[in-house]
């Protein structure tokens, strides 16, 4: 892969940051182009270990992960077969696919755990940043057939398939289908802080967004 092509394609200006953040967070973006390099087993294990240490409501740890790697083609194809069509052309090249599942009830009481999805999201976030720190790229996918996944993997009724995650080393975006490639290299956009940080009442922008205000306080 020509390195300059990749760096040129990926060096598109991002939306202006409104405060300095850790490079690990600033540098992460969803990547859909994967190189053919496999992910070393100890690196995969570290990703799962990172997820393991995520915080969760009542320390319930409601997450489970079903892993499929390209080293095991039958298993890999089984998970690939759960993805919706638009994700297949690029996800088929990811060396690791992972289905995250949430247990919807507390194991001790059987009560509904309304934070289960939240906690699984935190576990996947921890896994994602561990992946970025290890030089990997990640794409999380809601685009999969939940019923198919439930049936193929015999996932119990009180568990909810949440997301499929594609993980691998960065590939050349030039190899992606055109529509996906455009998404891959487009500048990222985010709502500004005043769009979602409020104070005193819903919809009222917080003074913390304004650096001149925060310096005075
Ligand atoms: C829960 C979730 C589901 C997503 N589903 C898909 C998907 O099915 N296919 C896809 O190409 N990208 C998917 N994405 C990636 C988002 O499009 C991407 O995170 C978003 O556009 C922001 O871009 P960034 O991750 O580069 O900051 C998903 C991301 C998340 C967090």
pLDDT at 184: 86
pLDDT of 165 over the 60 cut: yes
Q: Structural domain boundaries of the chain?
A: 21-176, 191-217
Name beta bridge partners: 160. Answer: 102
User: 33 alpha carbon to ligand 1 midpoint, in Å?
Assistant: 14
pLDDT at 216: 41
Contact (CB, 8 A) for 64 and 142: no
User: 30 alpha carbon to ligand 1 midpoint, in Å?
Assistant: 7
Rounded Cα–Cα distance for residues 6 and 9 (Å): 5
CA-only gyration radius of the chain, Å: 19
Which helix (H) or strand (E) is 201 found in, with range? strand 201-205
Which atom of ligand 1 is the closest one to the Cα of 143? 8
Please check whether the domain covering 21-176 is classified as CATH 3.40.109.10.
yes
pLDDT of 15 over the 60 cut: no
Counting residues of the chain whose pLDDT is more than 70, the rounded percentage is 88
Show the tokens assigned to 156.
């119990």
| Substitution site in 140, 185, 186, 191 for ligand 1 pocket (most atoms within 8 Å of beta carbon) | 140
Instruction: Dump pLDDT digits (tens) for 39-91.
Output: 999 999 999 999 999 999 999 999 999 999 999 999 999 999 999 999 999 99
The 8-class DSSP code of residue 200 comes to S
Rounded Cα–Cα distance for residues 116 and 155 (Å): 16
Mean pLDDT lowest for which of 47-51, 133-137, 152-156, 192-196?
192-196
């Amino acid at each position: 892969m020509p390195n300059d092509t990749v760096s040129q394609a990926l060096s598109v200006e991002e939306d202006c940051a409104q405060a300095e953040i850790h490079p690990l967070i600033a540098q992460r973006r969803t990547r859909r182009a994967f190189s053919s390099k496999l992910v070393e087993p100890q690196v995969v294990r570290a990703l799962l270990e990172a997820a393991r240490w995520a915080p969760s409501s009542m320390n319930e740890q409601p997450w489970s992960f079903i892993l499929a790697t390209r080293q095991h083609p039958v298993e890999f194809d089984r998970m690939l077969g759960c993805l919706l069509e638009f994700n297949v052309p690029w996800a088929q090249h990811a060396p690791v696919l992972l289905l995250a599942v949430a247990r919807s009830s507390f194991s001790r009481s059987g009560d509904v755990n309304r934070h289960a999805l939240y906690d699984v999201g935190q576990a996947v976030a921890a896994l994602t940043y561990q992946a970025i720190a290890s030089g990997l790229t990640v794409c999380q996918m809601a685009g999969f057939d939940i019923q198919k996944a439930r049936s193929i993997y015999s996932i119990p009724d009180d568990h909810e398939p949440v997301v499929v995650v594609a993980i691998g080393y960065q590939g050349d975006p030039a190899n992606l289908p055109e529509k996906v490639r455009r998404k891959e290299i487009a500048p990222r956009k985010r709502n500004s802080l005043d769009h979602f940080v409020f104070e005193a009442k819903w919809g009222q922008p917080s003074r913390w967004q304004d650096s001149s205000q925060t310096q005075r306080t």
